[in-house]
Structure 1
């Protein structure tokens, strides 16, 4: 299939309709995707039959069952099985063997995630771990929001500290002092906009900064 056709293909297979899988599937439908939801639990399949494009009762660890629901024809698939590690790993492995080119898999621990990567998952997400880490950053400091883009590098949203106010960012030497870059700014009653070297921050501004996680955390404590 040509690359452009792949990019336009808005069909996705979601295996596992528990809390994470169902929430993801419903959000994808809201964004215009055709979602095939698969679960071995008839109650869950019935619960989302009207909300998703298609739902099927099937054992995702069974190669033949996955082939019958058309899994090999999907360009993207999500294995949202969480607590049953063996089922999660087997389902992911089946999709890999079928040649599905873009496989996302939910993990409940870093060890689980490493195994999923080893069997061939292209993307591994740890929703509980990531949310716990994010909330920990929010409750323990001055950050208003926090996203880890990859291990050791993050974005943080915080109020502009006093020492940066009233002069262009290039004069604040913020990158040299703190190792972070101010990437955007939001004024009161305004939307976020890109920050430049000439941006002058004002009292009450909210800024988004990028940098190594330790540096972002340190900067968020500056008042």
Structure 2
């Protein structure tokens, strides 16, 4: 196990040109383009994330207390190991402190989630993502210092609720009550250039893209004329984009 990082480095050097060797910064083996990551907790969330990262050509160290889960992903990941990551020494022996990123995918055991996140912070891992199962859990992780906190079940529930109750084709909400929505354009915004329809003034949203049937998505400008049946991507305050989509 102690040779894990060395094997990753050899693999990465074979796949990338030698000029990346000079990219390592003062943190040691970390570099701005480091694509090595530890995923701790190989349940549905962590396992899915780890395999998708592998598909995107990342080197993934998958860790879990369950030998059954580790065995399931052993052939799919760069390396998988049974480990109790609430023990900081276990993380150190695996070389997690030398990685630039780590994901804490533990959800059901809140104490373990908090302990592992704390261990990663103490180890100086600069980019830590942590899964939370409730807003309270998320607030604890944020106060602890986790760089990114995600609530996958809650966020997906909110997203689907918007799609079910509105006339949106897709919905993504960001911080500060700001959202991005894909919807069929309302008739009131069709037939004239966007600059003349005054969509932004009248509805408080900005049309950023347009998809005409049979054509690819294109950027929208003030001169773009939207036709009935076109799909548009709009941004703005959440209530504003919801109201605009419901005009369709």
Alpha-carbon distance between aligned partners in 1 of 2:68 and 2:210, rounded to the nearest angstrom: 47
Q: Alignment partner for residue 81 of structure 1, among 106, 113, 125?
A: 106
Q: Alignment partner for residue 242 of structure 2, among 213, 217, 220?
A: 217
Number of the residue aligned with 1:170: 195
Q: What is the Cα deviation at residue 151 of structure 1?
A: 4.0
Alpha-carbon distance between aligned partners in 1 of 2:161 and 2:205, rounded to the nearest angstrom: 20
Q: Is 1:153 matched with 2:153?
A: no
Q: What is the Cα deviation at residue 206 of structure 1?
A: 0.4
Q: What is the Cα deviation at residue 117 of structure 1?
A: 0.8
Q: Is 1:18 matched with 2:43?
A: yes
Give runs of ≥4 in structure 1 deviating > 4 Å.
none
Number of the residue aligned with 1:207: 232
Q: What is the Cα deviation at residue 6 of structure 1?
A: 2.5
Matches within 5 A, 1:66-145: 66-145=91-170
Q: Is 1:39 matched with 2:78?
A: no
Question: What do the CA deviations read for 1:168-203 (whole angstroms, capped 9, x no partner)?
Answer: 001111111111100111111222111111110012
Alpha-carbon distance between aligned partners in 2 of 1:149 and 1:196, rounded to the nearest angstrom: 23
Alpha-carbon distance between aligned partners in 2 of 1:151 and 1:83, rounded to the nearest angstrom: 28
Number of the residue aligned with 2:25: 2
Alpha-carbon distance between aligned partners in 2 of 1:89 and 1:11, rounded to the nearest angstrom: 22
Q: What is the Cα deviation at residue 109 of structure 1?
A: 0.9
Alpha-carbon distance between aligned partners in 2 of 1:77 and 1:151, rounded to the nearest angstrom: 26
SS of residue matched to 1:128: helix
| 8 A contact 1:56–1:69 mirrored in 2 | no
Alpha-carbon distance between aligned partners in 2 of 1:139 and 1:20, rounded to the nearest angstrom: 24
Question: What do the CA deviations read for 1:9-33 (whole angstroms, capped 9, x no partner)?
Answer: 1111100000000000000000000
| 8 A contact 1:168–1:197 mirrored in 2 | yes
Where structure 2 has 5 or more consecutive residues not aligned to the other structure, the ranges are 1-23
Question: What do the CA deviations read for 1:40-97 (whole angstroms, capped 9, x no partner)?
Answer: 0000000000001100100111011111111100100000001110000100000000
Alpha-carbon distance between aligned partners in 2 of 1:7 and 1:87, rounded to the nearest angstrom: 29
Taking structure 1 as the reference length, the TM-score comes to: 0.97
Alpha-carbon distance between aligned partners in 1 of 2:36 and 2:65, rounded to the nearest angstrom: 21
Where structure 1 has 5 or more consecutive residues not aligned to the other structure, the ranges are none
CA RMSD of aligned residues (A): 1.1
Between Structure 1 and Structure 2, how many residues are aligned?
222
